[in-house]
């Protein structure tokens, strides 16, 4: 599927499938964040978003809608706000400096482009036509119970296209999956306030 990149974002030098994934796991991604100087609260945020991403992917897989790269979604979720190590003013929402900075920071530290792109694309999802970045963006909302209708609708459309199923058929199934992730939002928010990761 074509991947429309946000304005200004370089084209990937490699097709996603030919780009080996570095880091290869959520734990390695979180360790990298610490190496980059992320404070414990920021590492915790990534752990919780990766946890929500895992629940989201599992729910979609159970519905037979897993035509995406689960490992990339999880590791992308575990690094999406890496730029906030450089722009901590964006730590609690707001601010967009961290997105491009995070993309460049991750590339400079050996992270695969297919992973680093999520630092830029998680906040530019309205340009997205590829499932993995949309699912990272969705996990970054659902982890705290936030529902974003336009983002969910885009995810449903892409899931329907990938599976060859009817949009409304997919909608009726995945709305419950989104609910299932969002219902733990308050509990995750409470954990995000606890020290440390």
Catalog residues that contact Fe ion under the rule CB under 5 A.
81, 140
To Fe ion, the closest distance from the beta carbon of 27 in angstroms equals 18
Please list, residue by residue across 72-97, b when 16 or more beta carbons sit within 10 angstroms of its beta carbon and e when fewer do: bbbbbbbbbbbbbbebbebbeeeeee
Q: Which of 65/83 has CB closer to Fe ion?
A: 83
- For residue 104, the tally of other CB atoms under 10 A from its CB is 16
Q: Which of 22/141 has CB closer to Fe ion?
A: 141
To Fe ion, the closest distance from the beta carbon of 165 in angstroms equals 30
To Fe ion, the closest distance from the beta carbon of 53 in angstroms equals 11
Whole-angstrom distance, CA of residue 66 vs CA of residue 54: 12
Whole-angstrom distance, CA of residue 142 vs CA of residue 77: 12
To Fe ion, the closest distance from the beta carbon of 80 in angstroms equals 6
Q: Which of 33/173 has CB closer to Fe ion?
A: 33
Q: Which of 45/114 has CB closer to Fe ion?
A: 45
To Fe ion, the closest distance from the beta carbon of 161 in angstroms equals 26
Nearest Cα to 196, choosing from 86, 42, 25? 42
Nearest Cα to 32, choosing from 107, 140, 93, 134? 107
Q: Which of 67/95 has CB closer to Fe ion?
A: 95
């Amino acid at each position: 599927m074509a991947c429309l990149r946000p304005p200004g974002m370089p084209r990937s030098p490699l097709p996603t499938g030919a780009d080996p994934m570095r880091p290869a796991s959520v734990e390695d991604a979180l360790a990298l964040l610490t190496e980059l100087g992320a404070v414990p609260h920021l590492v915790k945020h990534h752990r919780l978003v990766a946890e929500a991403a895992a629940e989201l992917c599992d729910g979609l897989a159970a519905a037979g809608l897993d035509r995406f790269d689960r490992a990339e979604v999880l590791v992308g979720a575990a690094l999406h706000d890496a730029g906030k190590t450089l722009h901590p003013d964006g730590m609690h929402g707001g601010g967009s400096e961290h997105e491009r900075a995070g993309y460049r920071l991750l590339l400079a530290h050996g992270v695969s482009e297919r992973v680093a792109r999520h630092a830029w694309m998680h906040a530019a999802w309205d340009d997205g036509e590829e499932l993995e970045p949309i699912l990272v963006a969705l996990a970054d909302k659902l982890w705290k119970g936030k529902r974003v209708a336009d983002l969910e609708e885009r995810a449903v459309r892409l899931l329907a296209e990938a599976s060859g199923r009817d949009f409304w058929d997919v909608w009726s199934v995945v709305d419950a999956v989104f609910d299932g992730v969002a219902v733990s939002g308050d509990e995750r928010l409470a954990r995000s306030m606890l020290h440390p990761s």
